[in-house]
């Protein structure tokens, strides 16, 4: 039902402005969604960066305003801060990304969990545990290798921030069977960590032991996102 409502209304406008909470990224921000962004969700194609950002707003609002109260504070890194991008024909420099992340981390408090969505070709997730100076790497395409660029960015940012060495822990996570589901898996990784805290990563229990998420698990994320963004249409 939500999908049909979105289909009928979004095609009538050029774009939809989605305002975020001021403390989502630590600064006032908003994003614009177009029909192309809705179409990838409706057809379960590979997710765009603005879809990822707008779902972060969904998670942040549920965490901030909804029950239950949690003893962990979670912050989100805008993927555009660290993900590779083309600027004047050159890929984003790892050192630039590290310094940008370091500046952002310097305003965070201890005992926080930091989500770092990253797209070197498909969506992966770095989760910083600021209490233990550890980073969990969640890649639904491979549970045995991590992206060296993201590791360098994470390590470099902590060195710029505190001068300490980052410890990187490879974490198990469900592996998806297709080529376009990585973004949806990442959304579930974030939601489960929001709900369960860092212990779900410490205990290697993402997905509650599932080898892969079901169609219903993925559809839940799609419906959740569509329900949120269509609220900006009416």
> What CATH number is attached to the domain comprising 165?
3.40.395.10
CB 44 within 8 A of CB 50: no
Are 181 and 187 in contact, with CB atoms under 8 Å apart?
no
- Whether 90 shows a pLDDT value over 50: the answer reads no
- Containing structural domain, residue 68: 2-230
Confidence of residue 63 (pLDDT cuts 50, 70, 90): confident
Tally of domains in the chain: 1
Instruction: Identify the residue with better confidence: 77 or 2.
Output: 77
Query: Residue 151 above 70 pLDDT?
Result: yes
Q: pLDDT tens digit string along 108-142?
A: 766 578 898 998 888 989 888 877 777 888 888 86
All residues at 6 or more sequence positions from 64 whose CB lies less than 8 Å from its CB, including other chains: 21
What is the model's pLDDT at position 87? 45
Q: Model-level pTM?
A: 0.81
What's the start-to-end Cα distance of the chain, in Å? 15
Whole-angstrom distance, CA of residue 214 vs CA of residue 31: 29
Q: Which two tokens stand for residue 60?
A: 């942040």
């Amino acid at each position: 039902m939500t999908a049909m409502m979105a289909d009928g209304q979004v095609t009538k406008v050029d774009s939809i402005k989605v305002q975020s909470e001021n403390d989502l990224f630590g600064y006032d921000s908003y994003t614009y969604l177009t029909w192309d962004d809705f179409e990838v969700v409706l057809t379960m194609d590979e997710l765009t960066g603005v879809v990822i950002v707008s779902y972060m707003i969904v998670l942040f609002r549920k965490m901030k305003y909804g029950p239950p109260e949690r003893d962990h504070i979670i912050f989100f890194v805008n993927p555009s801060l660290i993900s590779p991008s083309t600027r004047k024909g050159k890929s984003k420099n790892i050192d630039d990304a590290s310094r940008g992340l370091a500046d952002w981390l310097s305003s965070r408090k201890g005992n926080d969990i930091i989500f770092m969505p990253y797209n070197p070709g498909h969506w992966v997730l770095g989760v910083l545990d600021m209490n233990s100076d550890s980073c969990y790497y969640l890649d639904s395409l491979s549970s045995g290798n991590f992206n060296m660029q993201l590791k360098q960015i994470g390590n470099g940012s902590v060195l710029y921030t505190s001068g300490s060495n980052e410890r990187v822990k490879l974490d198990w996570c469900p592996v998806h069977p297709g080529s376009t589901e990585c973004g949806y898996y990442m959304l579930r990784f974030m939601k489960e960590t929001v709900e369960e805290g860092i212990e779900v990563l410490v205990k290697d229990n993402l997905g509650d032991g599932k080898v892969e998420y079901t169609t219903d698990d993925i559809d839940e994320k799609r419906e959740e996102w569509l329900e949120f963004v269509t609220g900006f249409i009416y």
